[in-house]
Chains A and B, each alone.
Chain A
């Protein structure tokens, strides 16, 4: 007399060898999410990432605020990367309102977003270090991050949530003598991150532990829709700063780092290599930047968009970050949709963890360059 249950409610047959672990949300190795892991001995047979513990409804909130007041809260998903999170929204609103941005503002934006990318990557790297039990690699990036945070504080006035980009440019001009200080700090920063190779990236135990684990092939990386450093570690040369240059990236001299291996080691190395490229971009941008000029176009109060929609995307610290804005002739947007890299990278996690050992879970999970709060938005 068994009633036919719908597929989701059917009871699963319990295998006595399988143990289910709830890694998170109260777990030192999960972040603000839960990974339901089923293990057989030391091997993971199934893995189900369960984000959603820090959902704040940023997209819905954006429908009740006008285009300018949206700025401080739309950067909240990743406060360490707040300039890059805000970038596609600002670009989209500029296109909706038909604003031309001054040249100097474009360079300031590029400098700020590259500094912010480094700040985010350092935080990510610190957590990657402590996930692998390497406490020095937690302390060093967390300390060296201060160099760039100080720079951003000079630029924007805030240490993490900058709210610096506005439609029409940036909120305020650079402080006097910023170029020299920035050059000095960035040079020192680059020297410091090169030292990480000796203690972390060339460490034989680290290489033995993360190489050939969680291998994502080139085809799978494209098929699963991963982006950013995960995609580039699998051998796909895809960087929006090169492919769809926005602002002044096409005038700057830098290259994209691509590795072929597609394992955890390559995925953890790409953001570190990208930081050196960021330093190069900042130095070049400081050189080419117009020394004076306006940094912001004055907007009308309460600007209204036309009956149109716009989709803009940028390369954030975690990969491509898109923003879709629909406007219906009101001061508030009709709809704002963020398409984030974190969520697209998380989709690869169950594929990568299946058949891996439990000890590889933290390194594979965090090498996906994933930020739980951004995935929830």
Chain B
């Protein structure tokens, strides 16, 4: 093992901190404190011991563990927490990072390789972090003839759109960032944005290979959007709602994949195409057009596009789980909390501070999240698997698949759903 800093001495480290103490304090005061205050302003302050907390009082209380936890608990009910951490970006990014790791190790096992091994000691678990650091430290090269504002903006818009997609996914009962009644329509709208961003970034780089890649991506995404939308109509017909949380709630007895297997298969194939995964990775076909529309991206811009791609992968897999596999529903396997924790609270170490009100998450919610994650990881596994098995297909084969076969099958799926509805088996007022 190589040593990163061979001449490291603790005394010099302390000395360097003392040298820079002015800047550390300045940065803490100018950036750290305002950040804490912004978070505290977002929180609806709880009433503790009969007095309403102000942010200033709350800041002083952060040093006391018995008073910190109620504040944290209050923070967890805010929108900021939902957007940034749990059902939103942080949770999705964590799952996306796990996806990259699973993809590398699984593909390596399939191809009789080892895969990432050294970075992080345990099976190369920190390889992704190393890759991220490498991308951040690299120079961002922008082609001289590129349309610079759009070239800069496209990856950021890409990540933002993928994150907006993530925001619509319900993870557990009541745990969704944006619980809109037209949830599925919003999903279609967001999916419609991706080809635009792709062609923008491809065109703005002003280069031949990205241009061809962008045109291919446009063909592929636009023509696969139609079977994608049609394949989901069956679910909408049977549930009678567009709200994703209500669609999940309608699957407490059975998931829709039992009655609509054709729709599920079509949706799975179309998400492979929308995600540009092998065998549909034509927009990034390496041996033909270098890296397609990603050719001119370098450094962290490329990293942002990859982050967006994997967020999108997670979001599509989660959408499959929500629509066809029953989302968070599943038998209760999470162990119940001990009685005294719920009523009396827990005792923290030597301070003997009793903290009431724990746990912050209910048992149903944790069980739902567990089922959701298990199902999503399963779907992600099947999305990754074709990469080791199939070669890439050609654009004419892709288009004929999308326009002839999938759309035809999608109509068959809709007729099945309508038949089930009119026979009175399923749907609103059905016998099941």
By a beta-carbon cutoff of 8 Å, the part of chain A in contact with chain B is 19, 21, 27-29, 42, 129-140, 143, 199-200, 203, 205-206, 208-209, 357-362
B182 located at the interface, meaning its Cβ lies under 8 Å from any Cβ of chain A in the complex:
no
Q: Is the CB of B278 within 8 A of A136?
A: no
Contact status of A209 and B212, CB under 8 A, knowing A131-B287, A140-B112, A359-B282: no
Q: Is the CB of B394 within 8 A of A359?
A: yes
Q: Is the CB of A205 within 8 A of B279?
A: yes
B290 located at the interface, meaning its Cβ lies under 8 Å from any Cβ of chain A in the complex:
yes
CB distance from A355 to the nearest CB of B (A): 13
B181 located at the interface, meaning its Cβ lies under 8 Å from any Cβ of chain A in the complex:
no
Q: Is the CB of A208 within 8 A of B397?
A: yes
4 additional A-B residue pairs with CB within 8 Å, beyond A28-B286, A133-B391, A205-B393: A19-B208, A21-B208, A130-B286, A133-B278
Q: How many A-B residue pairs have CB under 8 A?
A: 82
Q: Is the CB of B288 within 8 A of A136?
A: no
B111 located at the interface, meaning its Cβ lies under 8 Å from any Cβ of chain A in the complex:
yes
Name the one of A19, A21, A134, A359 contacting B390, with C-beta atoms under 8 angstroms.
Answer: A134
Contact status of A361 and B288, CB under 8 A, knowing A133-B392, A203-B391: yes
Provide the residues of chain A in CB contact with B289, threshold 8 Å: 358
Provide the residues of chain B in CB contact with A206, threshold 8 Å: 391
Instruction: For the complex, give the distance between the alpha carbons of A367 and B278 in Å.
Output: 21
Chain A residue nearest in CB terms to B286: A28
Q: Is the CB of B394 within 8 A of A360?
A: yes
CB distance from B125 to the nearest CB of A (A): 22
Name the one of A29, A139, A209, A361 contacting B391, with C-beta atoms under 8 angstroms.
Answer: A209
Instruction: For the complex, give the distance between the alpha carbons of A131 and B289 in Å.
Output: 11
Q: Report the 10 A-B pairs with minimum CB-CB distance, sorted nearest first.
A: A133-B392, A29-B287, A139-B111, A362-B287, A132-B391, A134-B391, A359-B394, A131-B287, A28-B286, A136-B388
Provide the residues of chain B in CB contact with A136, threshold 8 Å: 110-111, 388-389
Q: Is the CB of B287 within 8 A of A358?
A: no
Contact status of A133 and B285, CB under 8 A, knowing A27-B290, A205-B390, A358-B212: yes
Chain B residue nearest in CB terms to A138: B111
Instruction: For the complex, give the distance between the alpha carbons of A112 and B352 in Å.
Output: 79
Chain B residue nearest in CB terms to A358: B288
Provide the residues of chain A in CB contact with B113, threshold 8 Å: 139, 143
Provide the residues of chain A in CB contact with B209, threshold 8 Å: 21
B281 located at the interface, meaning its Cβ lies under 8 Å from any Cβ of chain A in the complex:
yes
Instruction: For the complex, give the distance between the alpha carbons of A136 and B279 in Å.
Output: 13
Chain B residue nearest in CB terms to A137: B391
Instruction: For the complex, give the distance between the alpha carbons of A131 and B279 in Å.
Output: 13
Q: Is the CB of A42 within 8 A of B395?
A: yes
CB distance from B302 to the nearest CB of A (A): 16
Q: Is the CB of A205 within 8 A of B391?
A: yes
Give how many B residues have a beta carbon under 8 Å from the other chain's beta carbons: 29
CB distance from B269 to the nearest CB of A (A): 13
Give B249-283 as 1s and 0s: 1 = Cβ < 8 Å from A's Cβ atoms.
Answer: 00000000000000000000000000000110110
CB distance from B216 to the nearest CB of A (A): 9
Provide the residues of chain A in CB contact with B285, threshold 8 Å: 133, 359
List B98-120 residues whose CB lies under 8 Å from chain A. 107, 110-113
Provide the residues of chain A in CB contact with B388, threshold 8 Å: 135-136
Residue contacts A-B, CB under 8 angstroms, 11 given: A42-B396, A132-B287, A133-B286, A133-B392, A135-B111, A135-B388, A138-B111, A205-B279, A206-B391, A357-B396, A359-B392
Contact status of A135 and B387, CB under 8 A, knowing A21-B208, A29-B286, A130-B287: yes
Name the one of A28, A138, A200, A359 contacting B290, with C-beta atoms under 8 angstroms.
Answer: A28
CB distance from A221 to the nearest CB of B (A): 24
CB distance from A178 to the nearest CB of B (A): 26
Instruction: For the complex, give the distance between the alpha carbons of A140 and B390 in Å.
Output: 14
Provide the residues of chain B in CB contact with A21, threshold 8 Å: 208-209
Name the one of A132, A139, A209, A362 contacting B397, with C-beta atoms under 8 angstroms.
Answer: A209
Q: Is the CB of A133 within 8 A of B397?
A: no
Instruction: For the complex, give the distance between the alpha carbons of A357 and B111 in Å.
Output: 30
Q: Is the CB of B393 within 8 A of A209?
A: yes
CB distance from A364 to the nearest CB of B (A): 11
CB distance from B396 to the nearest CB of A (A): 7
List B370-411 residues whose CB lies under 8 Å from chain A. 387-397
Q: Is the CB of B394 within 8 A of A209?
A: yes
Provide the residues of chain A in CB contact with B279, threshold 8 Å: 133, 205
Contact status of A140 and B288, CB under 8 A, knowing A134-B390, A135-B388, A357-B395: no
Provide the residues of chain A in CB contact with B387, threshold 8 Å: 135
Provide the residues of chain B in CB contact with A143, threshold 8 Å: 112-113
Instruction: For the complex, give the distance between the alpha carbons of A135 and B392 in Å.
Output: 10
Instruction: For the complex, give the distance between the alpha carbons of A199 and B387 in Å.
Output: 12
Contact status of A359 and B208, CB under 8 A, knowing A135-B388, A136-B389: no
CB distance from A2 to the nearest CB of B (A): 31
Provide the residues of chain A in CB contact with B395, threshold 8 Å: 42, 357, 359
Name the one of A29, A138, A139, A209 contacting B288, with C-beta atoms under 8 angstroms.
Answer: A29
List B198-232 residues whose CB lies under 8 Å from chain A. 208-209, 212
| Residue among B208, B387, B391 with the highest chain A CB neighbour number at 10 A | B391
CB distance from B432 to the nearest CB of A (A): 37
Provide the residues of chain A in CB contact with B278, threshold 8 Å: 133, 135
Provide the residues of chain A in CB contact with B111, threshold 8 Å: 135-136, 138-140
Provide the residues of chain A in CB contact with B396, threshold 8 Å: 42, 357
Provide the residues of chain B in CB contact with A42, threshold 8 Å: 395-396
CB distance from B105 to the nearest CB of A (A): 14
Chain A residue nearest in CB terms to B287: A29
Instruction: For the complex, give the distance between the alpha carbons of A359 and B112 in Å.
Output: 28
Provide the residues of chain A in CB contact with B391, threshold 8 Å: 129, 132-134, 137, 200, 203, 205-206, 209
Q: Is the CB of B389 within 8 A of A199?
A: yes
Provide the residues of chain B in CB contact with A199, threshold 8 Å: 389
Provide the residues of chain B in CB contact with A19, threshold 8 Å: 208
Instruction: For the complex, give the distance between the alpha carbons of A12 and B365 in Å.
Output: 70
Chain B residue nearest in CB terms to A204: B390
Instruction: For the complex, give the distance between the alpha carbons of A131 and B285 in Å.
Output: 9
Provide the residues of chain B in CB contact with A361, threshold 8 Å: 288
Q: Is the CB of A135 within 8 A of B107?
A: yes
Instruction: For the complex, give the distance between the alpha carbons of A132 and B285 in Å.
Output: 9
Name the one of B212, B389, B393 contacting A208, with C-beta atoms under 8 angstroms.
Answer: B393
CB distance from B141 to the nearest CB of A (A): 15
Provide the residues of chain B in CB contact with A360, threshold 8 Å: 394
Provide the residues of chain B in CB contact with A205, threshold 8 Å: 279, 390-391, 393
